[in-house]
Every structure is written in structure tokens, then in C-alpha cells.
């Protein structure tokens, strides 16, 4: 087991998992492009992510997801689907970036770090969308969705280019989410 490679894989995977909390398919599409062009390696069991077929399927899914989130009310329906799918995508992101690692360790880290991170981020974006809809009747939701897509893309690229920086940013985002949730819990109902 190569420890520096494993640590880099975990950090990159967590960054991609957080990006999956904003958009399910976009981080896997970015990972597919990076694998196809040789910019990143993959766990041998996930070599299929670098295939032409995966690239096309993930590209179409990414464009469809981004476009659908721009439609008010459809975005809420997508959030219901995205909640479990983000956890799955986050798990796959971490598992695919861990090379030369024992499968039991790979899947344990993938489920906890990847699935947990993606699910936490996705839950917060869903709550943000509900707040946006309540405040603007859904009129601001396309802007909210465009911002989420941009953040997902930036997290994905950062995760592959600078895994430690991506991890630190994810930690800051998760801390921010925690603080907001704690504040909301302690705020009396009006």
C-alpha cells in the first residue's frame, strides 16, 4: 500500500464527493475526463470511468442534470432523487480514487468519507433551495442552481489539481453547514 498515494486519493475523493453533493454527475464526468486524458489514475476496478462510453453517458447526464435544475419546481423533484444518488456518487468518487488499497479499507473509507460528505452537502443544498423558494417563490432558484453547478465544477477540478486544498475547503464548508444547522436548531420558532 502506498501511503502518500492513498492520502492523496482520499483527499481527492472527498473533494469529488463534496462536489457530488452539489451535482451528482458533474464530478464523475470531470473525473472521467481526467482519467481519459491521463491526468489522474483510477482504482483498477474503476478503470471503466475512463472509457469513451462512460465519458459520453456522464456528459449527457451532466448536461441534463444542470439544465433540469434551472427549472423551478423541477429542481425540488430532482433534490428528492439527488439525496440518495449524491451519497452513491460520493462513495464511487472516493472508491475510484483509492489505488493500491485493500478493498475493505477502500469501501469503508468510500462509504463513510465519500457517502457521508456528499449526503451532508446535498442536504444543505436542498435546504438552501427550500429557503430560496420560500423567499422568492422559486424565482431565484435558477441562479441558486447555476451557482451550485459552478461550485460543483470548481470543487471537482480543485480536488484533482490540488487535493489538499480541496479537502481544506470541504472541511470549511462542512463546518459552515454544521454552524448553520446548530444556529437554526437553537433559534426559537417565530
pLDDT at 3: 41
- The span from the CA of 70 to the CA of 187, in Å, is 31
Tell me the pTM.
0.91
C-alpha cell at 49: 470511468
The dihedral region occupied by 100, where left means phi > 0, alpha psi between -120 and 50, and beta the remainder, is left
- The span from the CA of 47 to the CA of 41, in Å, is 8
**pLDDT tens across 62-120, in order?**
999 999 999 988 988 898 999 899 999 999 999 999 998 999 999 999 999 999 999 99
Whether the per-residue pLDDT at 189 is higher than 70: the answer is no
**pLDDT tens across 7-37, in order?**
999 999 999 999 999 999 999 999 999 999 9
- The span from the CA of 180 to the CA of 186, in Å, is 10
How far from 90 is each of 61, 73, 186, CA to CA, in Å? 16, 25, 30
The band of 41, judged by pLDDT with boundaries at 50, 70 and 90, is very high
**pLDDT tens across 137-182, in order?**
888 999 999 999 999 999 999 999 999 999 999 999 889 888 887 8
Site of grid cell 449526503? 119
Question: Domain locations in the chain?
Answer: 3-186
Whether the per-residue pLDDT at 50 is higher than 60: the answer is yes
Nearest to 166 by CA among 7, 6, 9, 16: 16
- The span from the CA of 36 to the CA of 145, in Å, is 28
pLDDT at 112: 95
Nearest to 114 by CA among 41, 27, 42: 27
Amino acid at each position: 500500500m502506498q501511503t502518500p498515494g492513498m492520502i492523496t486519493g482520499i483527499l481527492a475523493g472527498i473533494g469529488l464527493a463534496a462536489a457530488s453533493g452539489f451535482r451528482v454527475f458533474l464530478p464523475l464526468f470531470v473525473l472521467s475526463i481526467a482519467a481519459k486524458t491521463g491526468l489522474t489514475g483510477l482504482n483498477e476496478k474503476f478503470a471503466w470511468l475512463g472509457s469513451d462510453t462512460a465519458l459520453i453517458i456522464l456528459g449527457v447526464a451532466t448536461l441534463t442534470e444542470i439544465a433540469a435544475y434551472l427549472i423551478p419546481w423541477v429542481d425540488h423533484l430532482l433534490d428528492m432523487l439527488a439525496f440518495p444518488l449524491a451519497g452513491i456518487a460520493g462513495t464511487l468518487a472516493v472508491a475510484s480514487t483509492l489505488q493500491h488499497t485493500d478493498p475493505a479499507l477502500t469501501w469503508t473509507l468510500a462509504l463513510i468519507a465519500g457517502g457521508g460528505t456528499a449526503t451532508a452537502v446535498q442536504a444543505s443544498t436542498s435546504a438552501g433551495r427550500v429557503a430560496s423558494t420560500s423567499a422568492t417563490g422559486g424565482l431565484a432558484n435558477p441562479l441558486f442552481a447555476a451557482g451550485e453547478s459552478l461550485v460543483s465544477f470548481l470543487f471537482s477540478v480543485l480536488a484533482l489539481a490540488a487535493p489538499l486544498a480541496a479537502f481544506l475547503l470541504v472541511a470549511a464548508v462542512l463546518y459552515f453547514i454544521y454552524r448553520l444547522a446548530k444556529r437554526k436548531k437553537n433559534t426559537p420558532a417565530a
